[in-house]
Amino acid sequence: AGVSGKTRQERARLALDKVDLIPRASHRPNELSGGQRQRVAIARALVNDPSILLADEPTGNLDSKTGNEIMGVFDRLHQGGNTIVVVTHEPEIAAYAHRAIHIRDGQVEKDVRRAA
């Protein structure tokens, strides 16, 4: 609403570039892998340049290699200045975080900060 078609296309192209999907931009969803579809979802979230990106179990339906690729995308986005909040039950995924807040039964159990 209120954004020209040219501006929308440019924002979409920039978002796809951030997640390394420019070469697949013209492909239909059924032509993309699970990891590529997850990166499209991340790109869609980035289009309006949010101050915080919320990701609820972003690797939950992916194999470990693809999950690590998705976390690499988040790492690059973070290095570019984006704030990313990831919810996960997977310790391997939580290990990517600079800060991990462990919650059990609705209460903060521990707050761990790691060196960047």
Spell out the domains of the chain, with CATH numbers in brackets.
5-113 (3.40.50.300)
Q: What is the pLDDT of residues 32-74, one digit of tens each?
A: 998 899 989 999 998 988 889 999 999 988 888 888 988 998 9
Instruction: Judge whether residue 101 has pLDDT over 90.
Output: yes
Q: What is the pLDDT of residues 13-38, one digit of tens each?
A: 999 998 889 999 999 999 999 889 99
Instruction: Judge whether residue 1 has pLDDT over 80.
Output: no
Packing angle of the helix pair 34-46, 64-79 (nearest 10 deg): 20
Q: Indicate the pTM of the whole model.
A: 0.78
* Residue 16 DSSP label: H
Cβ–Cβ under 8 Å, residues 44 and 15:
yes
